[in-house]
Chains A and B, each alone.
Chain A
Amino acid sequence: MAGHHPKSAQHGTGSDDSATRQRTVEELIAKGREKEAFKQAKFYFHREASPENRLLVERTYVVRLQALIRGGMFSAGKEVALSLLEFGVKDPALLQQVVLLLPEVGLADKALALQAQSPSPSSDVQDQLLLKLADRAVLHPEETPASLPGVREAAGRVRSALTALDSDNETQALEFLQPIPRSSPLADWRFFVRGLIAFRKQDSEQAKSNWDRLDPQRAAHKIAQTLLASSDQKPHADQQKQLKALELQAFGEAVLDRLAELRRALETSDWKRALQVIGPLRMTLQRINPRDSQRLTEIVLFPLSTGLSQQSLREAERLLKEFKATLEPLSWDPHWNRFQAILWEGPQGGPRQAVQFWRAYLLDLEKGVSGLPGELRQVQALVWRRIGVLSRELDREPDFGFFQDDPEDFEEDSEARNQVAEALQNSLRLDPKQRRTYELLIECYDDWDQPDRLVATLEELLKVFPDDVDALRQLLHERQLRDEPELVLSYVERLRKLRPLDTKLAWDEAWGRLARARHLALAKRWEDGRAEFARIESSLKECMPTYRLFSRRAAFEFKAGDAMRAEVCIETARGSLPEPTPLFLSLAIEAVRYHLSKPLQSRFNEDFKKALTKKVISETAGELAGALTGYFVSEVEYNGRATHVKEVVGYLRRTTRTKYLEPDLQHVCRFLQLVGGEDKLLTTLLKRGVKLFPSSPFFMLTEVDLDLRKGPMSVRPQPMQKKLEKALALAEASPNPKDAELIPIIKQTLARVRDVAEAMRSSPFGRGGMPFGRGGMPGSFGDMIDAMFSRFGDMGPDDDEDDDGPSQSPRRKRK
C-alpha cells in the first residue's frame, strides 16, 4: 500500500500533529491538487482513524467532488459521491454541502435521503436543494424523485415549451409555461424561455429584461450567459469558455479562438505558428462550411505573398511549399499557378517566370476549374493580355551587355514581339470587347513602327467601338501620313458627328481637301480640284496662312495649264507676306509634289535661293521653320527636301542676333530639334529664347530635352530638375493655353530626370555609369521627344499654321 501513497505521505510520520496534517492537506487543495489531497487524507486516516483524520477525508471527498463537477466529469463525480456516501458524512456542515452536490451527479434521491437524515436540516439548504432538483428535473427528467410530482410536472412543461420552440411554435411554448406559478421552483425557466424567444428574434432588450431576472446560481442563467457571450465583440475570459461551449454545440468544435490566433500569427509574421494553426483550422472550416476554407486561403494569400517577398529565395521556396501543402488551393487556382505567377510579378520576381506560370494557369483553365470570379472566356482573355503585357516588358529589357546576366536570356526582338502580339490577339479572340487590349496592341505596333498592323488593329477596334474618338483620330492621322485624303475626309465626317465643336477638325478637313485637290490634279480632274480649293476658300481659309493656300492653288493651276491664273495666285500669296521667301519655299516644294515641269521647279528654287540672301527677319525664319516642320511631321518626302532643310538651316544660322518674336523662335527651335545635328545652333537660340522670353516655359523645357538627347554623359540631374521645376511653375501660372499644354510633358520629363538622379545615386557606377532600368533611358528619350513632337503637331488650327503638320493622336508615337 505504501507504494501507492503520495510521496509526501510516505514521508509522513506518526508524530505529525493534527494541525500539521490539516495544513498539508489544505495546501494541496489550495494548489488545486484535490486528488492528491484526497489520497493524503486517506493515508492519514488509514494510519490513524481519528475523528480529525476522518474529517480530513470527508473534506477532501467534498473538494474532489466539487472539482469533478466543475470539470464536467459527472460520471467520475458520481463514483466519488457514492464512495463518500459509503464512507459516511459525519460533519454536519459538510453534510449540507454534499446534499447540494448530489443532484448534480444524478443522485437526487440520495440527496433527499441524506437531507432527511440530517440531524439539524437547514431550511436554506432545503430551499436550495429544491431549486437544484427543479433544474435537474429539466435537464434530466428521468432523475426526478417520485416524491416530487409537482416538480416533475412543471419541469415537463418547461421541456415541452423548449421542444415547441424547436419547431418555432412560440405560442405553444408560452402556453406550456402558463400554468407554472411564480412561486414554483421552475418559475426561473419561464423567464428563460421568454428571453430565448426574444433573443432569437434579435430583440436584445427584451431578452435582457427577462434574463436579468434569472438567479445566477441556476442552470437557466448559465445557459443564458452562454448565449449572450456570442453577442460580445470582446468576450472576457469567462465568456471565452462559454463561447467555446456554444461553438461546440453549434459548430461541433471551437474555431473562433483559432482564427484569432491565426490573425495574431499573420500580424506578427509568425509563419511557423500560422502553419501550425492553419492545418487543423482548415479542416474545421471545411466541416463547418467548405466555402470558409476557400475564404481562409484567399485571406491568407496576401500576407503570405508579402511575407515571402521578405525572405531569401530558398526560405521563400520552403515556406511556399509548406503553405501549399497546408492551405486548400482556391478552386479556381487548383495548382497554385495563378498565385505563383503573381508572386513572380512582384518586385523580386521576373516577368519571364511569371509568364510561364500564367501559361500554366491557362492550361488549368482549359482543363476546367470552378468558382471563377467571372466568365471563363473573360478570364482567359485577361490572362492572355497579362502574358502580352509581361512579354512586352521582356521585349523592352535593356540591351546593355554589362547589365545582362546571361545575354542568351534575351530573345530576338522579333520573336519576343511575336509573342506579345500573339498573346494580345489571343486575348481579343476570346473577348473582342476589351478596349484596353486593343489599345495595348496599338501601342505595341506604334512602338515597333508597324503601321500596317497598327491601322488594321485600329480598324478592328472601330468595328467593336465605332464611336471611339481616339481610334478615329489616330486612323485619320495614319491616313494623313499615307496621303489618303478620301479616308481622311471620311474620318473627319465621323468625328464631326461625335465632336461637333472640335475646331481642329476644320484643319483636318482643310488638309484633306488640299491633298484631294492635288490627287485630282494628278488625275487631271481640274474642275473637281478647283471645287476643293473653292470650298477651302469659302469656309476653311482660316485654317492656314493665305500664302500656303495660294501657293498650292498656283501649283494646281500650273498643272492645269492655266499659267495666268497661277500667276494671279502667286501675286495674292505675295501680298499676304512681309517678304516672299516662305512663298518661294512653298512653291518649290509643291512644284515637285504636283510634278510640275523642270523649268518651273528651277524657277521657284532659284527664287527661293535668291530670297534667302536677304536680311534675316523673325517672321520669315519662323515661317520657313514652321513650314518645313509640317512636312517633317507629316512624313512628306519629296525630291529636294534635304536641300531645302540645309538652306533653311543656313538661313537660321544667321538669326542668332535677330530680334525674334516668341512664336517664331519657338517654330525655329522646334524645327532644329526635329532635324537634329544642329545642337550648337539650337543651344544658342534656346539661350536666346530664355533671355528674350523669361516667362516662357517652352525654351527651358527644350533646353533640358536637348541635354537629355545628348545621352547619359550629359545628364546633370540637379540643374535639369531646377530648370524643369521653374518651367512647370511658369506653365502653371501662364494664361497662354499653349503653355498649359506643356504641363504634362514637363511633369513627365521631371519624373524621368528624378528617376535618373535616383538611379545615379544608387548605381555602383556613379554618374556616367548605367543608371537606366527597364523602360528607362535612353530608350525613353524617344518617347518623350515623340510626345513633345506630337504636342507640337497638335498646334494646328489656332496659332500654328503648319498646313502639312496634321494633328497627332494622343496615342501616336511614331518614331
Chain B
Amino acid sequence: MDMRNAHETLGVSSNADAAEIRNRYLQLVREFPPDRAPERFAEIRAAYDELRDPSVELGRRVFTLTTRDSLADMEAELRGRLKSAKLTSAALLSLAETP
C-alpha cells in the first residue's frame, strides 16, 4: 500500500497529523471491528501502521519521485514573497518610472 492509498483508506487528508490519524483509526475500528469485518479491519490496520511509521515517509522520499510540491506552489510562494517583499524607498519610487 502506498502512502496515498493509506491516507485514502483511512479517509484523512495527506496533511493529517498524528492525532488526527489516530482518532480516525479508532473511529474506523469501532465501525469495522476485526470480528465482524476482518478484511476491512486488516486494511485499516495496515494503513494505520504505515502512516505512523516514520520510515515509511522516508522510504517514500527516497524511492519515489513524487513530491507534494509543484511549480504552481512555487509560483504561489514566489508571489507571496513578492507581496511581502519590503522594497526600499528608492526601489519603490523607481516603480513609478517603469515602462
Which of chain A's residues have a CB closer than 8 A to the CB of B61?
A: 373-374
- Cβ-based interface call for A759 (8 A): no
Residue in chain B with minimal CB distance to A165: B89
Alpha-carbon distance between A251 and B88 when the two chains are bound, in angstroms? 13
Q: A262-B71, A296-B74, A378-B55 are in contact. Are A302 and B65 (CB under 8 A)?
A: yes
Given the interface pairs A163-B89, A374-B61, A744-B39, the reply to whether A135 lies near B96 with Cβ below 8 Å is yes
Task: Using A245-B95, A378-B58, A382-B62 as known contacts, say yes or no to A250 and B81 having CB atoms under 8 A apart.
Answer: yes
Shortest distance in angstroms between A148's beta carbon and chain B's nearest beta carbon? 19
Given contacts A302-B65, A379-B58, contact A139 B39 (CB under 8 A): no
Given A220-B96, A223-B93, A382-B58, also A246-B38 (CB < 8 A):
no
- Say which residue of A159, A245, A292, A373 sits within 8 Å of B98 (CB atoms): A245
CA distance A159 to B92 in the complex (A): 11
Known: A230-B79, A256-B78, A379-B58. A159 touches B65 (CB 8 A): no
Give the contact stretch, choosing among A33-41, A68-76, A713-721, A801-809: A68-76
C-alpha spacing A527/B61, complex, angstroms:
62
Contact of A139 with B99 at beta-carbon distance under 8 Å, contacts A299-B67, A302-B65, A374-B58 already known: no
The 8 A CB mask of B19-63 against A (1 = contact, 0 = none) is 000000000000000000011000000000000000100110111
Known: A295-B69, A342-B65, A378-B58. A70 touches B82 (CB 8 A): no
A162, A259, A263: the one contacting B78 at CB < 8 Å is A259
Q: How large is the interface on A (under 10, 10 to 19, 20 to 34, 35 or more residues)?
A: 35 or more
Q: What residues of B have a CB within 8 angstroms of the CB of A72 in the complex?
A: 97-99
Whole-angstrom distance from the CB of B67 to the nearest CB of chain A?
5
Which A residues touch B66, using CB under 8 A? 302
Asked if A263 and B96 sit within 8 Å, CB to CB, the answer is no
Contacts of B15 in A (CB 8 A): none
B89 & A159 in contact (Cβ 8 Å cutoff): yes
Contact of B85 among A250, A374, A383 (CB under 8 A): A250
Per-position 1/0 for A207-247, Cβ under 8 A of B: 00000000000011011001100110100000001110111
A616 interface residue, CB < 8 Å from B?
Answer: no
Report the nearest B residue to A160, measured CB to CB: B89
**Which residue of B has the minimal Cβ distance to A247?**
B82
Shortest CB distance A235–B (Å): 9
Other-chain contact of B65, A296, A339, A379 (Cβ < 8 Å): A339
B93 to chain A, nearest CB (A): 5
User: Among A139, A251, A342, A436, which residue has its beta carbon within 8 angstroms of that of B63?
Assistant: A342
- Assembled-state Cα–Cα distance A153/B39 (Å): 82
* B-contacting residues, A126-174, CB 8 Å: 135, 138-139, 159, 162-163, 165-166
A246 is contacted by which of B58, B75, B82, B93 (Cβ under 8 Å)?
B82
Instruction: Specify which chain B residues have a CB less than 8 angstroms from the CB of A743 in the assembled complex.
Output: 39
Which of chain A's residues 299-350 have a Cβ closer than 8 Å to chain B?
Answer: 299, 301-302, 305, 338-339, 342
Chain B nearest CB, measured from A177 CB (Å): 14
Q: Is there contact, CB below 8 Å, between A301 and B96?
A: no
Out of B62, B72, B82, B91, which one reaches A243, CB within 8 Å?
Answer: B82
A249 proximal to B (CB < 8 A):
yes
A182 within 8 A of B: no
* Chain B positions within 8 Å of A196 at CB level: 92
Q: Which residues of B sit under 8 angstroms from A449, Cβ to Cβ?
A: none
Q: How far is the CA of A251 from the CA of B84 in the complex (A)?
A: 12
A767 on the B face (CB < 8 A): no
Q: Say yes or no: A373-B62 contact (C-beta < 8 A), given A163-B89, A256-B75.
A: yes
In the complex, chain A residues whose CB is within 8 Å of the CB of B99: 70-72, 241
How many chain B residues touch A (Cβ–Cβ < 8 Å)? 38
Which residues of B lie under 8 Å from residue A226 when comparing CB positions?
95, 98
A740 interfacial by beta-carbon distance below 8 Å: yes
Contacts of A220 in B (CB 8 A): 96
Contacts of B71 in A (CB 8 A): 259-260, 262-263, 266, 299
A162 touches B89 (CB 8 A): yes
How far apart are the CA atoms of A202 and B86 in the complex, in Å?
12
| A residues in contact with B64, CB < 8 Å | 342
Contacts of A262 in B (CB 8 A): 71
- Report the separation of the CA atoms of residues A256 and B73 in the bound assembly, to the nearest whole angstrom: 11
Tell me if A28 counts as interface (CB < 8 A to partner B).
no
A356 at the interface (CB under 8 A from B): no
Q: How far is the CA of A259 from the CA of B39 in the complex (A)?
A: 46
Taking a contact as CB atoms under 8 Å apart, the answer to whether A382 and B59 are in contact is: yes
A386 on the interface (CB 8 Å rule)? Answer: yes
Measured between alpha carbons, how far is A43 from B37 in the docked complex, in Å?
94
Chain B nearest Cβ from A338, distance in angstroms = 7
Q: Which residues of B contact A416 (CB under 8 A)?
A: none
Least CB distance, B60 to chain A, in whole angstroms: 9
Contact, CB under 8 Å: B58 / A223: no
Instruction: Give Cα A230–Cα B86 distance, bound, in whole angstroms.
Output: 13
A255 at the interface (CB under 8 A from B): yes
A231 to B83, CA, bound (A): 6
Q: State how many angstroms separate the Cβ of A493 from the closest Cβ of chain B.
A: 24
- Which residues from A are CB-within-8-Å of B67? 298-299, 301-302
- Bound complex: CA A651 to CA B62 (Å): 60
- Indicate whether A658 reaches chain B with its CB closer than 8 angstroms: no
Are A382 and B89 in contact, CB atoms less than 8 angstroms apart?
no
Instruction: Write out the residue numbers on chain A whose beta carbons fall within 8 Å of the beta carbon of B75.
Output: 256, 259-260, 263
Q: Is B18 an interface residue (CB 8 A)?
A: no
CA distance A740 to B42 in the complex (A): 14
Does A434 interact with chain B (Cβ within 8 Å)? yes
Which of A71, A245, A259, A378 touches B74 (beta carbons < 8 Å)?
Answer: A259
Quick one: given A246-B82, A295-B69, A382-B62, are A162 and B74 in contact (CB under 8 Å)? no
Assess whether A200 is interfacial by the CB under 8 Å rule. Answer: yes
A230 touches B96 (CB 8 A): no
Smallest Cβ-Cβ distance to A138: which chain B residue: B93
A230 to B99, CA, bound (A): 17
Determine how close the nearest CB of chain B comes to the CB of A161; give it in whole angstroms.
Answer: 9
Minimum C-beta distance from B99 to chain A (A):
4
Nearest Cβ in chain A — how far from B26, in angstroms?
20
Residue of A139, A249, A382 touching B55 (CB-CB under 8 A): A382
Q: A245 vs B93: C-alpha distance in the bound complex, in angstroms? A: 12
Q: How far is the CB of B49 from chain A (nearest CB, A)?
A: 9
Q: B1 in the interface, Cβ–Cβ < 8 Å?
A: no
Q: How far is the CA of A250 from the CA of B81 in the complex (A)?
A: 9
CB under 8 Å from chain B, chain A span 395-430: none
Are B63 and A382 in contact (CB-based, < 8 A)?
yes
In contact, B96 and A166 (Cβ under 8 angstroms): no
Q: How far is the CA of A518 from the CA of B91 in the complex (A)?
A: 94
Residues of A within 8 A of B38 (CB): 740
Q: Which of A135, A339, A382, A740 has the most CB of B within 10 A?
A: A382
Q: Is the CB of A219 within 8 A of B74?
A: no
Q: Quote the shortest CB–CB distance from A27 to chain B (angstroms).
A: 25
Cα distance, A338 to B74, chains bound together (Å)? 24
Q: List 7 A-B contacts (CB under 8 A).
A: A72-B97, A162-B93, A166-B88, A200-B86, A247-B82, A249-B94, A299-B67
With A226-B95, A299-B69 known, 14 other A-B pairs at CB within 8 A are A70-B99, A74-B97, A166-B89, A219-B96, A223-B96, A226-B98, A256-B75, A259-B75, A263-B72, A266-B71, A288-B78, A298-B67, A305-B65, A373-B62
Shortest 7 CB-CB distances between A and B: which pairs? Answer: A162-B89, A72-B99, A219-B96, A245-B98, A250-B85, A373-B61, A374-B58
